[in-house]
A and B are shown apart, each in its own frame.
Chain A
Amino acid sequence: MPGPAATDVTALLAARARWRPLELVFWVVALASVFLLPDKHLILAEIAILALFALSIDLLLGYAGIVSLGHAAFFGAGAYIAGLLGKHGVQEPLFGLVAAAAGAAVLGFASSFLVLRGSDLTRLMVTLGVALVLYEFANKAAFTGGADGLQGVVIGPVLGLFEFDITGHVAYAYSLTVLFVLFLLARRIVYSPFGLSLQAVKGNPLRARAIGVPVSRRLVAIYTLAAAYAGIAGALLAQTQQFVSLDVLAFHRSADGLLVLILGGAGYLYGGIVGAVIFKLMQDWLSALTPQYWQFWIGLVLVLIVVIGRDRMANWSHLVRDIVRPTRKAPVAAPAEQERGP
């Protein structure tokens, strides 16, 4: 067997992160929707925000293997930070995003040390608990408006140029741009050594430690980053709706985010976006069809997808992943029989 040359290995490593044609098509379609679907911009803005939220869960679950049932804590924190800024005269939206990201990141960093402890079940409970605590805090605190929601949020024009309007044109263009920029950053991160080390920790924390990966530190870092992403998603919602309700911290928001990600498939970055499109369109269609019972149908569909189509779902998302990341060949041979000698 001839040894690989430096150029081969460099090329193979570079090929991991290369843009696939399908990815370009995806973003061209997203851009086209800004111009071709003007009457759908309200729902598209919601989709973009949900997609960003699901993307932040993907960084946690799909790459680092951390399950969370309370990711809405960071979404809600970001929403309240952006909303409160707007209410108290700081109306520049981009500054609001940065502040929301920073606030959510601080919260994520602080709670990451709780989440690091223990197994998946512990993590589920701790994340759930943190979100519940925050929900009740927002419910009781005076400055959040409690159950009435945060009223009187005023957000200035984006970059001083684009005023948010009732048609949702600016809201969608703004949300999609933020989603795209943060997607690019996430994509950069997952192909870096840091991103690879997360996948290693997810695959086998024992071995990751044994090759010198500081597992806890990496998990704290990604948890903090994912919290910042969720915070920005929450801020986008607050800014585009110019209102914050307690709902941003609700349990169902965490659950929806997780469902969206599972719908689209975790671990290849596009899952959250694809899932958000499917989820919102399904919700929109079903609620028009049966206004009172749409949650019944969406629940049923989700159960069917997860239970019956589980393997097929996995295959489907692997297929997409292989198209998106063709360096990974499909398995050609069955794994060798792993018999252990006496």
Chain B
Amino acid sequence: MSVVLETRNLEKRFGGVVATSDVSLQVRKGARHALIGPNGAGKTTLINLLTGVLAPTAGRILLDGEDITGVEPHRRVRMGLARTFQINQLFGDLTPLETIGLAVSERHGSGADWWRIVGSRAGVVEDVIELIERFQLGDVLNERVAVLPYGKQRLLEIALAFACRPRVLLLDEPAAGVPEAERHEILATVAALPKDVTVLLIEHDMDLVFSFADRISVLVNGALFVEGSPDEVARDPRVKAVYLGEDAHA
């Protein structure tokens, strides 16, 4: 399978601190690729580099072979690289309907349309409905996002990224903080994402990682430590050492 997202010798320094060190990562098309690592391993920094929130000190990022290292964040989204956030980043004063309506409008290229109401452009409503159904937001369409139950906010968080029709979807701890009762809904939704969307999952929860991923990269101290299939990673004594070591310190 071809590589859809790739980093080459990616490096990020904050002053003297190396947060990302010589990371060359390849994510294959259609993969369910998980990125794991102990706290402070540099997972969030890597996500921020991939999405363009941070600029790398050195190295390159390629999306479908095209160099996107210097491309602005919103353009990367339009090129097919969308992300969710570990801590909800939503529009509290809008409704889920407005939020999704906006994201879909932007993807259809009508985000700058200032004359017609949201949803008047052909195809927008159909996409909005598909998202509402896929992410089970039908019963809260007109609530303010800020007052939604946390699980619903989490679903909206993923729906927003998915609304950008990404080729690569970066999921940053999708189930983080979700109460046990609502957790199943999120996991089922993540598992049901279409197979042609490549998913890069950043996760702490090992049950979720091993049930979902077909490829796992382990990040330690900003560098790629081990990469392989779930079985290989599970058997790797060095990975155990890292995680046991962390547990021993905890």
Q: Please give the residue numbers on chain A whose beta carbons come within 8 Å of chain B beta carbons, in ascending order.
A: 1-6, 9-10, 12-14, 16-17, 188-189, 191-197, 199-200, 203-204, 206-215, 217-218, 221, 327-329, 331-341
Contact: A197 with B129, CB < 8 Å?
no
B102 touches A327 (CB 8 A): no
Partner of B147, one of A194, A335, A339: A335
Contact assessment for B83 and A210 in the assembled complex, using a CB-CB cutoff below 8 Å:
yes
Which of A12, A332, A338 touches B177 (beta carbons < 8 Å)?
Answer: A338
Among residues of B, the one whose C-beta sits closest to the C-beta of A212 is B77
CB within 8 Å of A: which B71-127 residues: 72-74, 77-78, 82-83, 85, 87, 89-95, 97-99, 101-103, 105-107, 110-119, 125-126
Closest 3 CB pairs of A and B: A13-B119, A340-B177, A203-B91
- The interface residues of chain B lying within 8 Å CB-to-CB of A4 are 129, 132-133, 138, 141
Measured CB to CB, the closest approach of chain B to A139, in angstroms, equals 37
A207 touches B147 (CB 8 A): no
Are A207 and B160 interface neighbours, CB within 8 A?
A: yes
Given A13-B125, A210-B51, CB of A215 within 8 Å of CB of B98: no
CB neighbours (8 Å) of B139 from chain A are 1
A329 touches B142 (CB 8 A): yes
A selection of 28 A-B contacts at a CB cut-off of 8 Å is A3-B138, A9-B119, A9-B141, A12-B142, A14-B117, A192-B116, A192-B118, A193-B101, A193-B102, A193-B110, A193-B111, A193-B118, A194-B113, A194-B114, A200-B94, A203-B92, A206-B89, A209-B77, A211-B161, A211-B164, A212-B77, A213-B111, A327-B95, A331-B147, A332-B143, A336-B179, A340-B87, A341-B176
Residues of chain B with a CB closer than 8 A to A199's CB: 91, 93-94, 98
The interface residues of chain A lying within 8 Å CB-to-CB of B73 are 209-210
A3 close to B129 (CB less than 8 A): yes
Most chain B C-beta atoms within 10 Å of own C-beta, residue among A221, A327, A341: A341
B200: shortest Cβ distance to chain A, in Å?
15
Q: Is B149 an interface residue (CB 8 A)?
A: yes
B102 touches A211 (CB 8 A): yes
Q: Which residues of A contact B87 (CB under 8 A)?
A: 340
Bound-state CA distance A208–B164 (Å) is 12
Contact with A192, one of B74, B93, B113, B164 (Cβ below 8 angstroms): B113
- A16 x B74 contact (CB < 8 A): no
Q: In the complex, what residues of B have CB within 8 A of residue A210's CB? A: 51, 73-74, 77, 82-83, 85, 89, 160-161
Task: Name the residue on B nearest A14 (C-beta).
Answer: B117
Contact at B126–A6, with CB atoms within 8 Å? yes
